[in-house]
Amino acid sequence: MTAQFLSEVQAALGSAAIKTAPADIEHHAIDWRKRFFGKPLAVIFPANTEQVAQVVRLANQHKVALVPQGGNTGLSGGATPDASGTQAILSLTRLTRVRHQDAANKTITVEAGVSLQRVQELAEEMGLLFPLSLGAEGSATIGGNLATNAGGTGVLRYGNARDLCLGVEVVTPSGEIWNGLRALRKDNTGYDLRDLFIGSEGTLGLITAAVLKLYPRPKGVMTALVKIAGPEDAFRLLQIAQSRCDAALTAFEYMSAESTQVVIDHFPEVARHGAQIIGGMTTDASPAAASGKTSARSDCVLMEISHAESERAATALLESVIGSALEEGVVLDAIVAQTLAQTKALWHLRETITLGAAEDGAQVKLDIALPISALVDFIDQMNTEMLSAFPGVRLHNFGHFGDGNLHYNIGAPRYLAAGKSPEERRKIYLGYVEENEQAIRRLVHDRVVAMNGSISAEHGLGQLRKNEARRYKTAIEFELMSKIKLALDPNGILNPGKVL
Ligand code: FAD
Ligand code: MLT
Ligand code: ZN
């Protein structure tokens, strides 16, 4: 069956479009965090939408499961096949055409395999902005961004991937092509199929192209790093910033001291650049600095303000926020990046947390959302409960505080690996995480759900959280989702074992 499938795919697409040699497919078979190890039958690389549809039709005929994959940067194991050797990965990375650019309509239509960074560059060439932004943007694809409804650092102002997409082209699980590439901001003509496919993590259809929404480029974008005493002051700072800036506040990222420690430990050069700026932070204006309250390691907020008119206007707005916050004793100290290089160094520090954590070793990775009004209570209560249940764990939490989205990550106790080599350390941390992961997840997720939150804000369920989701979703919600899956994909061809 599978051999026949492969030979028919080869006949249709050509032999260069299929890879089966272990060395060629290994990096497609493991997820970015190296927590899921699959054994794919093959990796198939169609070159266009029609070829995607051909592969899906053959998969139906031969009952072969397909696992869609873009840049393979997902953090929930959604793009990794199981270990049966019967599932084929369908890579969308050869679909890289830019189909249409319409500066007047502020839209761009690209195929699924175009990287997020390329779309940002194309938008810039058009004098516009594509505001989706995340650490993996060099490798992550637009198809993957939409399939996971990715978030990132610009959600506060511009929304997540769903909010930035006007239309999609989809290959259905039966191999038909639906051209829903509408470039309309309003369209009330029945059920919203586009939104059904966005965020479905490759279980309901293959996104092959999309119409993306662009924005005017702000003339002034200013960034500040602000030291705070803790989450409560992050919340108070957010209130001040939003009341003064409203939509001009374009990013508000919280970084606990423990979360930046992994950057200091494993990417010292990145930390050094950040630290040079942080080192120059103390200002005469700061009462905290005068009282000596600032320390090298503290919780921080990275705050960005964008202004349509000018850099000067953005700076004035940012300084007025910081001024009020200093007066109210909300911040310990703050620095506004003065050059592009400083701005980049600060963002680099923030974006390197994930790499630093990966280098450190395994962690329990969480991606929770709460009403913003409940975040501070959550962190306070959860930190206490966590440290009492799992003494010595590191509270690596950081994230998109302004959206109510925290990566409340938990690292193994540092003392476990004191004096060990990096290799031994990673082995010890992995052992700890494997032993305690389920209990830690349960502790956090129970509290999150009790406080009306979500167990995944932006990374999706994939295979990492699908059992958890089953536990927390009501029977009716789960049943409705299952019915939709069955109606669209009766043979269970697309990404089985994920989400549901
Ligand atoms: P993949 O990993 O290849 O796939 C992800 C899921 O989408 C899988 O279920 C797959 O089956 C499905 N899929 C992929 N392409 C298609 C398609 N064309 N049609 C249908 N299904 C498809 N995520 C955030 O939301 N916010 C962040 O801030 C963020 N930061 C990150 C930082 C780092 C360093 C890393 C490694 C990851 C980060 N991520 C973040 C997670 C990840 O980058 C995003 O989820 C991204 O959107 C995935 O894109 P991808 O092309 O790599 O998809
Ligand atoms: C981020 O916000 O940096 C990403 O979502 C990645 C992560 O959670 O590590
Ligand atoms: Zn994130």
Task: Please tell me the CATH code under which domain 98-216 is placed.
Answer: 3.30.465.10
Backbone dihedral angles phi then psi of residue 42, each to the nearest 5 degrees: -170, 165
Q: What is the DSSP letter of 149?
A: T
pLDDT of the residue at 285: 34
Higher-pLDDT residue of 165 and 269 is 165
Atom 13 of ligand 1, residue of closest alpha carbon: 144
With CA atoms as reference, report the closest residue to 305 among 405, 257, 350, 238: 238
Find out whether the beta carbon of 202 lies less than 6 Å from any atom of ligand 1.
Answer: yes
Average pLDDT over residues 375-384: 97
Q: What pLDDT sits at residue 1?
A: 77
Report phi then psi at 277, rounded to 5: -75, -45
Question: What distance in angstroms lies between residue 151's CA and the mean position of ligand 3's atoms?
Answer: 7
Best mutation site among 35, 73, 75 for ligand 2, i.e. most ligand atoms within 8 A of its Cβ?
75
Residue type, 315: T
- Give me the amino acid identity at 316: A
Backbone angles phi, psi at 77, to 5 degrees: 75, 15
Six-digit token pair at 132?
């989706």
Least confident of 128-142, 282-296, 348-362, 376-390: 282-296
Q: Is 220 in the pocket of ligand 2 (CB under 6 A)?
A: no
The yes-or-no verdict on residue 438 having pLDDT over 90 is yes
Helix (H, G, I), strand (E, B) or coil at 260: helix
For 68, the 3-state DSSP assignment is strand
**Nearest partner of 114 among 130, 93, 100, 133, judged by Cα:** 93
**Ligand 1 atom index nearest CA of 462:** 9
Provide the 10 A C-beta neighbour count for residue 308. Answer: 13
Would you say the CB of residue 460 lies under 6 angstroms from ligand 2? no
Q: How far is CA 247 from CA 90, 221, 242, in A?
A: 39, 13, 8
Tokens 């990275």 sit on residue: 302
Is the separation of the CB atoms in 303 and 223 below 8 Å? yes
Confidence of residue 275 (pLDDT cuts 50, 70, 90): low
Q: Are 218 and 129 in contact (CB under 8 A)?
A: yes
Ligand 2 centre to CA of 174 (Å) is 34
- For residue 456, the CA-to-ligand 3 centroid distance in Å is 10
Instruction: Determine which residue's CA is closest to atom 7 belonging to ligand 2.
Output: 354
Cα of 389 vs centre of ligand 3, distance in Å, is: 26
Spacing, Cα 363 to ligand 2 middle (Å): 13
> Which residue's structure tokens are 């869609």?
68
* Ligand 1 close to Cβ of residue 69 (< 6 A): yes
373: Cβ contacts below 8 Å, ≥ 6 apart: none
- pLDDT tens for 277-329 read 655 554 333 333 333 343 446 899 999 999 999 999 999 999 999 999 999 99
Residue 71 — very low, low, confident or very high, per pLDDT cuts 50/70/90? very high
| Spatial contact of 460 and 146, defined as CB atoms under 8 Å apart | no
Torsion angle of the four alpha carbons 177, 482, 470, 399, in this order, in degrees rounded to the nearest 10 = 30
Average pLDDT over residues 188-198: 97
**CA gap 62, 86 in Å, rounded:** 11
**DSSP secondary structure letter of residue 87:** P
Structure tokens at 290: 């005068």
Summarize the confidence of residues 395-420 as an average pLDDT. Answer: 97
Say how many Å lie between the CA of residue 336 and the centre of ligand 2: 24
Output the pLDDT for position 7: 97
User: Considering only CA atoms, which residue is closest to atom 22 of ligand 1?
Assistant: 202
CB 356 within 8 A of CB 390: no
Binding site membership of 307 for ligand 2 (Cβ less than 6 Å): no
Is pLDDT at 28 greater than 80 in this prediction? yes
Distance, CA of 406 to CA of 179 (rounded, Å)? 36
Q: From 133, 258, 354, give the residue whose CB has the most ligand 2 atoms within 8 Å, as the site to mutate.
A: 354
The alpha carbon of 34 and the centre of ligand 2 are apart by a number of angstroms equal to: 16
Instruction: State whether the beta carbon of 407 lies less than 6 angstroms from ligand 2.
Output: yes
Q: Which residues fall within 8 angstroms of residue 125, CB to CB, at 6 or more apart? A: none
Distance CA 487, CA 37 (A): 30
Q: Mean of the pLDDT values across residues 200-210?
A: 98
Residue nearest to atom 9 of ligand 2 (CA): 354
Token pair belonging to 469? 């989701």
Here the tokens at position 135 are 């650490």
H/E element, 59: helix 49-62
| 229, 298 contact by CB (below 8 A) | yes
Distance separating alpha carbons of residues 29 and 408, to the nearest angstrom: 27
Best probe residue, ligand 1, of 48, 69, 207, 495 (max atoms within 8 Å of C-beta): 69
- Answer yes or no: is the C-beta of 399 below 6 A from any ligand 2 atom: yes
Q: Looking at the domain that runs over 218-359, which CATH code has it been given?
A: 3.30.70.2190
Q: Is the pLDDT of residue 6 over 50?
A: yes
Decide: helix, strand or coil at residue 220: strand
Q: Does the fold of domain 361-459 match that of domain 218-359?
A: yes
- Cβ of 378 below 6 Å from ligand 1: no
Distance CA 55, CA 173 (A): 10
What's the CA-to-centroid distance between 132 and ligand 1, angstroms? 12
Rg (CA), the chain: 23
Backbone dihedral angles phi then psi of residue 220, each to the nearest 5 degrees: -130, 125
Lowest mean pLDDT segment, chosen from 267-281, 288-302, 323-337, 338-352: 288-302
Angle between helical axes of 422-450 and 375-389 (0-180°, round to 10): 130
Domain 2-91 grouped into CATH 3.40.50.620: no
Rounded distance, CA 318 to CA 301, Å?
13
Break the chain into its structural domains and give their ranges: 2-91, 98-216, 218-359, 361-459
The model's confidence at residue 272, banded by pLDDT at 50, 70 and 90, is confident
Chain CA centroid to CA 417, Å: 29
Terminal Cα-to-Cα distance of the chain (whole angstroms): 26
Whether residue 81 has pLDDT greater than 50: yes
- pLDDT for the residue 381: 97
Q: Whose CA is nearest to atom 6 of ligand 2?
A: 354
pLDDT score of 296: 44
Q: What share of the chain is helix, strand, coil (3-state, %, to 5)?
A: 45, 20, 35
Angle between helices 257-266 and 268-279 (to 10 degrees): 120
CATH topology of domain 361-459: Alpha-Beta Plaits (3.30.70)
| Ligand 2 close to Cβ of residue 135 (< 6 A) | yes
pTM of the full structure: 0.96
CA–CA distance, 208 with 97 (Å, rounded to integer): 10
396 lines ligand 2 (CB under 6 A): no
